[in-house]
Structure 1
Amino acid sequence: MLPYIVIVFCCIAAYLIGSCNSAIIVTKLLKHEDIREFGSKNAGLTNVLRCFGKGPALATLVSDLLKGCLTILVIKAVVKAAGFTGDIMTVGYIAGLLVMLGHVFPVWYGFKGGKGVLVTATVLLAIDPLTFAVVIPVFIIMLVITKYVSVSSITAAVAYPIVTFVMQYFIRHLELGPVLVHTGFAALSGILIVYMHRANIQRLKEGTENKFSFSKK
């Protein structure tokens, strides 16, 4: 019983930690501004880079990396220490989804956060590095080809559950049951990312979407 109680508390903690939005915190501390009032109004890395430059963007990147990776690694360690003997990867996926939900719908900021791309990537790094090593190049290749972060993010989000299934079932030969569960959580994360890009999709249709650039606007 104790391991499952610990899992519940860890999942609550995952959401609360996810709700600590790095883009908002960094721009408040470094620029004394609210990133949600600039550019695309999105509290995410790309908007920080466009509006405040490389320094704040790098700080946001590192903060989100630590938030996603460390949260999952610590939760997995705590759950193991509590005596949980089940599929620890599934625990990682559950906690990871809650970190993402916290980032996208942060309780501390009126449930208005980022789009969840970076934090999902950092969470994936801690859960399944092999899948991460395939999905990230998909993002990078699409960014090089299209110059649109939104298109790259949506493509990677769609690829995420597909790559998860292929890598875990056909490459690592994990049991089908857990693989389907993991793929389901990956699909939920991917669907949420696509949903959070609905405004970008509309701008792409209208031809008004901004292309990626390292230059501050």
Structure 2
Amino acid sequence: MSDVIITVRGEHELRVSPERATVHLTVALDGPDRADVVERTLALAAPVRDSITSRETAGSVTEWTSQRMSVLAERPWNNEGKRLAPVYRATVEFTATFSDISEMSVWATELSVDDGVSLGYIDWHLTPQTEAEVEREVATQAVGVAVSRARAYAEALGLKNVTPLEIADRGLISEGAGQMSKALAVGGMMSMDAAAPAMEFQAEEIAVSATVEGRFAAN
């Protein structure tokens, strides 16, 4: 009796709490006088930079970046359709990656009271080492699921021996466009409670998943 070819798919997913948070922050001011706007923005950005570097020294910030100041000029229109005098806007953008989420909450609360400082979105992520370990784990488990399915199909056909022929990421065996075998689903929330002394950061777990396809010979 010739071998029966069995093609199956195996999936696995793990959810892991994030270990790092990268905060995007903007310092921006505007006004009618360019030199004044630049000076005030530099003065506002300096303590922000100092607050980040001090935390980097203490170990709660693992890395940070600061973009050069950009200055834009715009001439707005009034309600009569007439162009007004130029308004200048100076902006400095920062990113800071925290390993200590509670310290990030304190830092964000301190800065939130300053006019001209705005907190943007937060990227929640894992360390490279943890991400590699989790990817390896989900890939191993996905292959195990594929093997179990192939054996279940073989047993249903009254076959006992199952030999692997191919194992590949999703889309590399079956016809059609290939798809990534790893998915990182990251979410989070930033909320402010009027009765609380600090901002609260609620990070959703990071979902790491793998999908593999396997082809087996059964007899």
Per the normalisation by structure 2, the TM-score is 0.23
Bigger share in strand? 2
Per the normalisation by structure 1, the TM-score is 0.23
Higher RCO structure, 1 or 2 (CA under 8 Å, sep 6+): 2
Structure number with bigger Rg: 2
Bigger share in helix? 1
